[in-house]
Structure 1
């Protein structure tokens, strides 16, 4: 691999691939029903898994699992009846992050994950302060000309097999992590991506908690 993975700031960063499955009640923001996270670190060009976490989440009463949600994810209301609450699940995930290490979250269409995290920020204040990398602008830069940049399209382009439980958070995290590593490998041929700062400039998304206060006036 090229200069990007040998950049000291890149090597110091833990990249946490994250995915939520949600239900979206009318008049409310999306409510999480499952979360998965996979932490990766790169040392001397070699990737290692630094930890993973997954949890079902019981949605609030105003956001029941619908038949459409079940068709998409396979999750049913019965499965989630005894799941941890959002406060329990997300505070447990939040405790996995330590103050002495730099992190970046990685997600496909990271705005979706950023919004879920922001609306749950009372339960995960550390997580809510972590900025994100979005695989979509990174893929557009490195693999121009695709018909679209949906996850399934990118998986097919890179020959990453579709998991049988696609649209469950753990499976989607695994394939998004594979995609991210393929994109970072491809970045060795991009002179514009020589270090972490360049990567963040291209594909970074500022956590909503880190944005200027006036942007909070329209907390949709």
Structure 2
């Protein structure tokens, strides 16, 4: 797989969000981190970035969230808005480069990006790879496939600031590299297309819009 031209021409961008989960609304991002990787016979880091993001008033920071992440409402009030932070991230993606996003439980990141797509239209069009189905294929039989379980299985040190986006991105990148090595050695995938078949997730902005079946026409004016 790692000799495949398409694989070597792809920049894999590991991404992680921390978010609040207000009742009645989609999750709202309060921190994002990315770490970009390319493979040319060995893995090379080609960029990284992180930003706090100010949550809207309807998505306040709770004591439980602060206990888990260490982020406080006061810190986040001084952060860039979602429009500012995500537009800045979006500008880092070049139009002439092939990208795939990489995330642990990619559905979470996919949903957050989709709901913020007006601020990051280029990012919103990038498809994803999910480390969970890849791990299930490469290391079957684990009792679960949570990030902490996978880190322990591979002997990857638990970061002191686990549940902060930069730390989670760093260890997810290590996990991704271990899984790619296993998939390559075991013949689980022989190309980028094979990897996508195992672990790919289409970005919601790229999903076809389907008309509702049997939709009724509006009633004619009497």
User: TM-score, with normalisation over the residues of structure 1?
Assistant: 0.95
Counterpart Cα distance in 2 of 1:176 and 1:60:
28
**Paired residue for 2:18?**
21
C-alpha change, 1:204 and 1:33, in structure 2 (3 Å) is: same
What is the aligned-residue RMSD (CA, Å)? 1.1
**Paired residue for 1:210?**
206
C-alpha change, 1:209 and 1:165, in structure 2 (3 Å) is: same
**Paired residue for 1:30?**
27
Counterpart Cα distance in 2 of 1:134 and 1:31:
21
**Paired residue for 1:57?**
53
**SS at 1:5 equivalent:** coil
**SS at 1:38 equivalent:** strand
Counterpart Cα distance in 2 of 1:209 and 1:81:
29
Could you tell me how far 1:71 is from its partner in structure 2?
1.3
Q: How does 1:51-200 map to 2 (within 5 A)?
A: 51-200=47-196
Counterpart Cα distance in 1 of 2:160 and 2:34:
19
Asked if 1 retains the 8 angstrom alpha-carbon contact of 2:138 and 2:188, the reply is no
Counterpart Cα distance in 2 of 1:39 and 1:215:
37
Could you tell me how far 1:181 is from its partner in structure 2?
0.3
Could you tell me how far 1:215 is from its partner in structure 2?
8.2
Counterpart Cα distance in 1 of 2:195 and 2:145:
18
**Structure 1: which 5+ runs fail to align?**
none
**Paired residue for 2:217?**
none
User: TM-score, with normalisation over the residues of structure 2?
Assistant: 0.94
Aligned residue pair count? 212
Counterpart Cα distance in 2 of 1:215 and 1:156:
45
Could you tell me how far 1:131 is from its partner in structure 2?
0.1
Of residues 186-195 and 199-208 in structure 1, the stretch that sits farther from structure 2 once superposed is: 186-195
Counterpart Cα distance in 2 of 1:203 and 1:10:
14
